[in-house]
Amino acid sequence: MELAYKAGKVILEASGQMKKVNVKESFADLVTETDKGVEKMLFEELKKRFPNDRFIGEESANKEPWTLEPTWIIDPIDGTTNFVHTFPFSCVSIGLTVNKQSSVGVVYNPSLDRLYTAVKGQGTQLVEGKKEPVTLRVRDCSSLSEALVMSEFGSQRDDAKKEAVFRNLEAIGWKCHGVRSLGTAAINLCSVASGHADAYYEFGLHIWDMAAAALILTEAGGYVCDTKGGPLDMQSRRILAASSEKLANEISETLLIHLEMERD
Ligand code: IPD
Protein backbone atom coordinates (compact mmCIF):
# COMPACT_ATOMS: atom_id res chain seq x y z
CA MET A 1 0.00 0.00 0.00
CA GLU A 2 2.82 2.34 0.91
CA LEU A 3 4.56 1.70 -2.42
CA ALA A 4 1.30 2.05 -4.35
CA TYR A 5 0.78 5.51 -2.84
CA LYS A 6 4.41 6.39 -3.64
CA ALA A 7 3.99 5.23 -7.26
CA GLY A 8 0.67 7.07 -7.51
CA LYS A 9 2.30 10.35 -6.50
CA VAL A 10 4.86 9.98 -9.31
CA ILE A 11 2.11 9.11 -11.82
CA LEU A 12 -0.06 12.06 -10.79
CA GLU A 13 2.81 14.55 -10.95
CA ALA A 14 3.83 13.35 -14.42
CA SER A 15 0.30 13.22 -15.84
CA GLY A 16 -0.35 16.03 -18.29
CA GLN A 17 3.33 17.05 -18.45
CA MET A 18 5.18 17.01 -21.74
CA LYS A 19 6.53 13.52 -22.08
CA LYS A 20 8.11 11.37 -24.73
CA VAL A 21 5.69 8.67 -25.79
CA ASN A 22 7.04 5.54 -27.44
CA VAL A 23 5.07 2.74 -29.05
CA LYS A 24 5.42 -1.02 -28.54
CA GLU A 25 3.47 -3.60 -30.55
CA SER A 26 1.23 -1.12 -32.42
CA PHE A 27 0.85 2.63 -32.77
CA ALA A 28 -1.81 2.44 -30.04
CA ASP A 29 0.34 0.47 -27.56
CA LEU A 30 2.03 3.27 -25.61
CA VAL A 31 4.86 3.48 -23.09
CA THR A 32 6.47 6.49 -21.38
CA GLU A 33 9.51 7.15 -19.23
CA THR A 34 7.13 7.29 -16.25
CA ASP A 35 6.02 3.66 -16.82
CA LYS A 36 9.67 2.59 -16.78
CA GLY A 37 10.66 4.79 -13.83
CA VAL A 38 7.76 3.62 -11.64
CA GLU A 39 8.47 -0.03 -12.43
CA LYS A 40 12.17 0.42 -11.56
CA MET A 41 11.27 2.10 -8.25
CA LEU A 42 8.78 -0.65 -7.32
CA PHE A 43 11.20 -3.45 -8.20
CA GLU A 44 14.01 -1.84 -6.18
CA GLU A 45 11.81 -1.20 -3.13
CA LEU A 46 10.17 -4.64 -3.17
CA LYS A 47 13.52 -6.37 -3.67
CA LYS A 48 14.84 -4.66 -0.51
CA ARG A 49 11.93 -6.15 1.44
CA PHE A 50 11.61 -9.53 -0.36
CA PRO A 51 15.07 -10.32 -1.79
CA ASN A 52 14.26 -13.96 -2.53
CA ASP A 53 11.03 -13.38 -4.41
CA ARG A 54 10.69 -13.22 -8.20
CA PHE A 55 9.51 -10.23 -10.24
CA ILE A 56 7.56 -9.80 -13.47
CA GLY A 57 6.83 -6.32 -14.80
CA GLU A 58 5.20 -4.97 -17.93
CA GLU A 59 8.16 -2.85 -18.91
CA SER A 60 11.03 -5.28 -18.20
CA ALA A 61 12.87 -6.19 -21.38
CA ASN A 62 13.68 -9.73 -20.27
CA LYS A 63 10.63 -11.24 -18.69
CA GLU A 64 11.24 -13.87 -16.05
CA PRO A 65 9.17 -17.03 -16.49
CA TRP A 66 6.21 -17.24 -14.09
CA THR A 67 6.83 -20.07 -11.62
CA LEU A 68 5.38 -21.49 -8.39
CA GLU A 69 7.77 -19.27 -6.37
CA PRO A 70 6.42 -16.11 -4.70
CA THR A 71 6.25 -13.64 -7.61
CA TRP A 72 5.41 -9.94 -7.67
CA ILE A 73 3.58 -9.10 -10.89
CA ILE A 74 3.53 -5.38 -11.59
CA ASP A 75 1.97 -3.00 -14.04
CA PRO A 76 3.50 0.39 -13.19
CA ILE A 77 0.78 2.24 -15.12
CA ASP A 78 -2.26 0.31 -16.24
CA GLY A 79 -4.04 2.69 -18.57
CA THR A 80 -0.96 4.29 -20.11
CA THR A 81 -3.11 5.74 -22.91
CA ASN A 82 -5.28 7.47 -20.30
CA PHE A 83 -2.14 8.72 -18.53
CA VAL A 84 -0.85 10.22 -21.79
CA HIS A 85 -4.21 11.85 -22.56
CA THR A 86 -4.91 12.83 -18.88
CA PHE A 87 -8.15 10.81 -18.79
CA PRO A 88 -8.34 10.26 -15.01
CA PHE A 89 -8.35 6.47 -14.97
CA SER A 90 -4.84 5.06 -14.66
CA CYS A 91 -3.50 2.99 -11.84
CA VAL A 92 -0.53 1.15 -10.47
CA SER A 93 -1.18 -2.56 -10.10
CA ILE A 94 0.82 -4.77 -7.71
CA GLY A 95 -0.02 -8.47 -7.41
CA LEU A 96 1.69 -11.29 -5.54
CA THR A 97 1.26 -14.91 -6.61
CA VAL A 98 2.35 -17.95 -4.63
CA ASN A 99 2.07 -21.38 -6.28
CA LYS A 100 0.66 -19.45 -9.25
CA GLN A 101 -2.32 -18.37 -7.14
CA SER A 102 -2.98 -14.67 -6.48
CA SER A 103 -2.55 -14.00 -2.78
CA VAL A 104 -2.25 -10.21 -2.54
CA GLY A 105 -3.59 -7.50 -4.85
CA VAL A 106 -3.18 -3.72 -4.65
CA VAL A 107 -4.52 -1.30 -7.26
CA TYR A 108 -4.28 2.48 -6.80
CA ASN A 109 -5.85 5.14 -9.02
CA PRO A 110 -4.09 8.39 -7.96
CA SER A 111 -6.43 10.69 -9.92
CA LEU A 112 -9.42 9.60 -7.84
CA ASP A 113 -7.30 8.68 -4.79
CA ARG A 114 -8.85 5.20 -4.71
CA LEU A 115 -6.83 2.33 -3.25
CA TYR A 116 -8.20 -1.19 -3.68
CA THR A 117 -6.61 -4.01 -1.68
CA ALA A 118 -7.25 -7.71 -1.28
CA VAL A 119 -5.59 -10.54 0.59
CA LYS A 120 -6.65 -14.10 -0.27
CA GLY A 121 -9.39 -15.18 2.13
CA GLN A 122 -9.68 -11.75 3.77
CA GLY A 123 -11.99 -9.81 1.45
CA THR A 124 -11.49 -6.60 -0.52
CA GLN A 125 -11.19 -3.11 0.86
CA LEU A 126 -11.40 0.32 -0.72
CA VAL A 127 -9.70 3.34 0.81
CA GLU A 128 -10.89 6.53 -0.86
CA GLY A 129 -9.00 9.67 0.11
CA LYS A 130 -9.05 10.13 3.85
CA LYS A 131 -12.27 8.16 4.35
CA GLU A 132 -12.38 5.02 6.49
CA PRO A 133 -11.76 1.78 4.53
CA VAL A 134 -14.91 0.08 3.25
CA THR A 135 -15.39 -3.57 2.40
CA LEU A 136 -16.38 -4.04 -1.23
CA ARG A 137 -19.04 -6.41 -2.49
CA VAL A 138 -20.20 -7.06 -6.05
CA ARG A 139 -23.75 -6.06 -7.08
CA ASP A 140 -26.38 -8.75 -7.26
CA CYS A 141 -26.99 -9.32 -10.99
CA SER A 142 -27.53 -12.69 -12.62
CA SER A 143 -28.85 -11.78 -16.08
CA LEU A 144 -27.20 -10.06 -19.05
CA SER A 145 -30.42 -8.14 -19.71
CA GLU A 146 -29.90 -6.35 -16.38
CA ALA A 147 -26.12 -5.93 -16.57
CA LEU A 148 -23.72 -3.06 -17.18
CA VAL A 149 -20.83 -4.69 -19.03
CA MET A 150 -17.26 -3.45 -19.45
CA SER A 151 -14.88 -4.30 -22.27
CA GLU A 152 -11.99 -2.77 -24.20
CA PHE A 153 -10.83 -2.27 -27.77
CA GLY A 154 -7.31 -2.96 -26.45
CA SER A 155 -4.11 -1.79 -28.09
CA GLN A 156 -3.65 -4.34 -30.90
CA ARG A 157 -4.58 -3.16 -34.38
CA ASP A 158 -4.65 -6.37 -36.46
CA ASP A 159 -7.65 -7.65 -38.43
CA ALA A 160 -8.32 -10.73 -36.28
CA LYS A 161 -8.54 -8.57 -33.14
CA LYS A 162 -10.77 -6.06 -34.90
CA GLU A 163 -13.22 -8.77 -35.96
CA ALA A 164 -13.31 -10.29 -32.47
CA VAL A 165 -13.84 -6.91 -30.76
CA PHE A 166 -16.64 -5.70 -33.01
CA ARG A 167 -18.54 -8.96 -33.48
CA ASN A 168 -18.47 -9.64 -29.73
CA LEU A 169 -19.48 -6.06 -28.97
CA GLU A 170 -22.44 -6.37 -31.33
CA ALA A 171 -23.50 -9.65 -29.71
CA ILE A 172 -23.20 -8.39 -26.13
CA GLY A 173 -24.03 -4.70 -26.52
CA TRP A 174 -27.66 -5.04 -27.61
CA LYS A 175 -28.49 -7.56 -24.89
CA CYS A 176 -27.35 -5.57 -21.83
CA HIS A 177 -28.08 -2.23 -20.16
CA GLY A 178 -24.90 -0.70 -21.55
CA VAL A 179 -21.21 -1.15 -22.32
CA ARG A 180 -18.43 0.88 -20.64
CA SER A 181 -14.72 1.06 -21.36
CA LEU A 182 -12.38 2.83 -18.92
CA GLY A 183 -9.10 2.01 -20.70
CA THR A 184 -7.58 0.02 -17.85
CA ALA A 185 -8.20 -3.65 -17.24
CA ALA A 186 -7.37 -3.37 -13.54
CA ILE A 187 -9.85 -0.54 -12.88
CA ASN A 188 -12.49 -2.35 -14.95
CA LEU A 189 -12.10 -5.34 -12.62
CA CYS A 190 -12.18 -3.07 -9.56
CA SER A 191 -15.37 -1.47 -10.93
CA VAL A 192 -17.08 -4.87 -10.98
CA ALA A 193 -15.72 -5.53 -7.47
CA SER A 194 -17.26 -2.22 -6.36
CA GLY A 195 -20.68 -3.00 -7.85
CA HIS A 196 -20.36 -0.09 -10.31
CA ALA A 197 -20.53 -2.56 -13.20
CA ASP A 198 -21.57 -6.20 -13.43
CA ALA A 199 -19.14 -7.84 -15.81
CA TYR A 200 -15.97 -7.34 -17.82
CA TYR A 201 -14.40 -9.33 -20.64
CA GLU A 202 -11.36 -8.70 -22.79
CA PHE A 203 -9.10 -10.46 -25.29
CA GLY A 204 -5.48 -9.24 -25.52
CA LEU A 205 -4.68 -8.09 -22.01
CA HIS A 206 -1.64 -9.42 -20.12
CA ILE A 207 -0.90 -11.13 -16.82
CA TRP A 208 0.23 -7.83 -15.21
CA ASP A 209 -3.12 -6.21 -16.10
CA MET A 210 -5.06 -8.82 -14.09
CA ALA A 211 -2.80 -10.38 -11.42
CA ALA A 212 -3.83 -7.96 -8.67
CA ALA A 213 -7.35 -7.00 -9.71
CA ALA A 214 -8.65 -10.54 -10.40
CA LEU A 215 -8.10 -11.23 -6.69
CA ILE A 216 -9.72 -7.90 -5.77
CA LEU A 217 -12.78 -9.06 -7.70
CA THR A 218 -13.01 -12.61 -6.33
CA GLU A 219 -12.45 -11.41 -2.75
CA ALA A 220 -15.40 -9.04 -3.29
CA GLY A 221 -17.56 -12.06 -4.15
CA GLY A 222 -17.11 -11.94 -7.92
CA TYR A 223 -16.28 -14.73 -10.35
CA VAL A 224 -13.45 -14.91 -12.89
CA CYS A 225 -12.93 -17.48 -15.62
CA ASP A 226 -11.68 -17.99 -19.14
CA THR A 227 -13.97 -16.46 -21.79
CA LYS A 228 -15.02 -20.00 -22.76
CA GLY A 229 -15.73 -20.83 -19.10
CA GLY A 230 -13.37 -22.97 -16.99
CA PRO A 231 -10.54 -21.68 -14.83
CA LEU A 232 -8.90 -18.33 -15.55
CA ASP A 233 -5.51 -18.84 -17.18
CA MET A 234 -3.62 -15.60 -16.46
CA GLN A 235 -1.15 -16.27 -19.30
CA SER A 236 -3.84 -16.78 -21.96
CA ARG A 237 -4.41 -13.06 -22.62
CA ARG A 238 -8.15 -13.29 -22.02
CA ILE A 239 -10.53 -12.90 -19.12
CA LEU A 240 -14.23 -13.00 -18.28
CA ALA A 241 -15.19 -11.52 -14.91
CA ALA A 242 -18.66 -11.09 -13.48
CA SER A 243 -20.59 -10.57 -10.29
CA SER A 244 -21.83 -14.19 -10.49
CA GLU A 245 -21.01 -17.46 -12.22
CA LYS A 246 -24.46 -17.44 -13.83
CA LEU A 247 -23.87 -14.07 -15.48
CA ALA A 248 -20.37 -15.15 -16.58
CA ASN A 249 -21.85 -18.27 -18.22
CA GLU A 250 -24.43 -16.23 -20.11
CA ILE A 251 -21.76 -13.84 -21.41
CA SER A 252 -19.48 -16.74 -22.34
CA GLU A 253 -22.28 -18.32 -24.41
CA THR A 254 -23.12 -14.97 -26.05
CA LEU A 255 -19.56 -14.11 -27.14
CA LEU A 256 -19.11 -15.11 -30.80
CA ILE A 257 -15.31 -15.14 -31.14
CA HIS A 258 -12.89 -16.45 -28.49
CA LEU A 259 -9.60 -15.12 -29.81
CA GLU A 260 -6.50 -17.28 -29.30
CA MET A 261 -3.31 -15.25 -28.81
CA GLU A 262 0.36 -15.83 -28.16
CA ARG A 263 0.62 -16.62 -24.44
CA ASP A 264 2.42 -14.45 -21.91
C1 IPD B 1 -3.80 -1.90 -21.20
C2 IPD B 1 -5.06 -1.47 -20.52
C3 IPD B 1 -6.22 -1.51 -21.50
C4 IPD B 1 -6.40 -2.87 -22.09
C5 IPD B 1 -5.11 -3.37 -22.71
C6 IPD B 1 -3.97 -3.30 -21.70
P7 IPD B 1 -1.53 -0.80 -20.31
O8 IPD B 1 -2.72 -1.89 -20.28
O9 IPD B 1 -5.36 -2.29 -19.42
O10 IPD B 1 -7.42 -1.20 -20.88
O11 IPD B 1 -7.38 -2.82 -23.08
O12 IPD B 1 -5.33 -4.71 -23.09
O13 IPD B 1 -2.78 -3.72 -22.32
O14 IPD B 1 -0.80 -1.01 -21.61
O15 IPD B 1 -2.14 0.55 -20.23
O16 IPD B 1 -0.69 -1.16 -19.14
* Residue 256: partners with Cβ closer than 8 Å, 6 or more residues away: 167, 168, 171
What is the per-residue pLDDT across 51-96, written as a single tens digit (0 to 9) for each?
999 999 998 867 789 999 999 999 999 999 999 999 999 999 999 9
Residue 41: burial class (beta carbons within 10 Å; 0-12, 13-18, 19+) = middle
Catalytic residue chosen out of the listed positions 74, 77, 187, 216: 77
Q: Is 249 helix (H, G, I), strand (E, B) or coil?
A: helix
Cβ within 8 Å of residue 238, ≥6 positions away: 201, 202, 203, 204, 205, 226, 227, 258, 259, 261
Query: Is residue 209 flagged as an active site residue?
Result: yes
Ligand 1 atom with the shortest distance to the CA of 204: 12
183 CB near ligand 1 (under 6 Å): yes
Compute, in angstroms, the gap from residue 166 CA to the centroid of ligand 1.
Answer: 18
**pLDDT of 24-54, one tens digit each?**
889 998 888 999 999 999 999 999 999 999 9
Cα of 238 to ligand 1 centre, how many Å? 12
pTM attached to this predicted model: 0.97
- H/E element holding 240? strand 238-242
Can you tell me which atom of ligand 1 is nearest the CA of 183?
10
What pLDDT, on a 0 to 100 scale, did the predictor assign at position 18?
61
List 39, 59, 78, 264, catalytic entry:
78
Closest ligand 1 atom to residue 30 Cα is 14
